[in-house]
Structure 1
Amino acid sequence: MTSCDITVIGLGINLFALLYNNRQANSREARKEIRAKLDQLDTALSALLDSSKKYYLDMDVPLSIENVKIHETINACERHIGEFSHFKNGISLYSDFYIIFDMVTGGKFESKQHNPGDHNADLCKKISIQKELLIAKAEGWFNKQYR
């Protein structure tokens, strides 16, 4: 074996090591990006839950302000949820989110018959449970993909 052969083998090993290292770094960056998206989704869903609680339970809050906040957070949640289907082996969370959407905007939402108060506590509990189920599904997908 000549020194040229050894050099070629060494270069091949170095190239393989560089490619492997690059692939691992890309995987790590993707994992960080998806983790950040999960945190953003959780924050947006928590904001939706908070606005819903104020809208349905607090008699002293101007309903028009909470109504706008609810619509804003719904839009933010939909944007975050849409991003998860674009990742490799992505997940669709739309059906889970639409359950929350229907609970928040259904019934007497935006109607003149809407009356905030403790009688809406069960609805708020159900919204909270659905939020946690959606996050648990997203976390389960993340753990399956990246752990």
Structure 2
Amino acid sequence: MTAGSWCLDEIATVLSGYAFAGNWLLVVCGWLVVNSQTNRRERRKEIRAAIDTIEDLVLEVEVAARKYYQLAGTDSDAKALALEIKSLTRRLAARMAALTNFKSEFHSEQQLISFRAAVTGGDFESASRQPLDLTHQRYLEISNEAVALVSFLDGKYAKL
């Protein structure tokens, strides 16, 4: 055996070892890519579920507010609805804070404040409040703020 052939045999042995390691490196890299894509999909699903929950709460608040403003301020049902509205808006704020923890882009405090002000502003919980006609501007304001809040969240989700 000559020195040249011995050197070539050694090089071939070393390269075959690197080829084996290269195959494993490709497998590991492939797994990392697939794993990150799966995690991203799962995160998007969790965020979508959180947004859906928020949308349901916004609708509940809107429906309760519509019922509330059709009653006089002294009505016992109005007082119960006022408590329900306040409870729902607290839950809504908590859900939105949790959504912000997923991604800071979902920080929507201003939209929540505007929605809450439309629902509970003015003569909310006032004993002198009179029932509002179904065509009153307040219902439109509440609906507009609800749509603005949901649209903001949906717009941020679409950009993920």
| Per-residue Cα deviation, 1:30-70 (whole angstroms, up to 9, x for no partner) | 00000001100000000000110000024687112101110
Are the aligned partners of 2:115 and 2:149 in contact in 1 as well (CA < 8 Å)?
Answer: no
Does residue 37 (structure 1) correspond to residue 37 (structure 2)? The answer is no
Are the aligned partners of 1:57 and 1:121 in contact in 2 as well (CA < 8 Å)?
Answer: no
What is the number of equivalent residue pairs in this alignment? 145
Are the aligned partners of 1:57 and 1:118 in contact in 2 as well (CA < 8 Å)?
Answer: yes
Equivalence for 2:68: 55
Does residue 91 (structure 1) correspond to residue 106 (structure 2)? The answer is yes
1:100-111 → structure 2 map (5 Å cutoff)? 100-111=115-126
Are the aligned partners of 2:71 and 2:130 in contact in 1 as well (CA < 8 Å)?
Answer: no
Structure 1: runs of 5+ lacking an equivalent:
none
92-101 or 44-53, which moves further after superposition? 92-101
Q: Percent identity?
A: 24
Alpha-carbon distance in 2 for matches of 1:4, 1:122 = 77
Q: What TM-score results when the alignment is normalised by the length of structure 1?
A: 0.91
Equivalence for 1:4: 17
Q: What TM-score results when the alignment is normalised by the length of structure 2?
A: 0.84
Does residue 114 (structure 1) correspond to residue 129 (structure 2)? The answer is yes
Deviation at 1:124, TM superposition (A): 1.2
Alpha-carbon distance in 1 for matches of 2:50, 2:150 = 12
Alpha-carbon distance in 2 for matches of 1:29, 1:67 = 37
| Per-residue Cα deviation, 1:68-100 (whole angstroms, up to 9, x for no partner) | 110111011101111232224522111111011
| Per-residue Cα deviation, 1:103-135 (whole angstroms, up to 9, x for no partner) | 211111111111123077210111111111111
SS in 2 for 1:86: helix
Alpha-carbon distance in 2 for matches of 1:33, 1:69 = 27
The structure number with the bigger radius of gyration is 2
Equivalence for 2:36: 23
Structure 2: runs of 5+ lacking an equivalent:
1-11
Alpha-carbon distance in 2 for matches of 1:76, 1:120 = 29
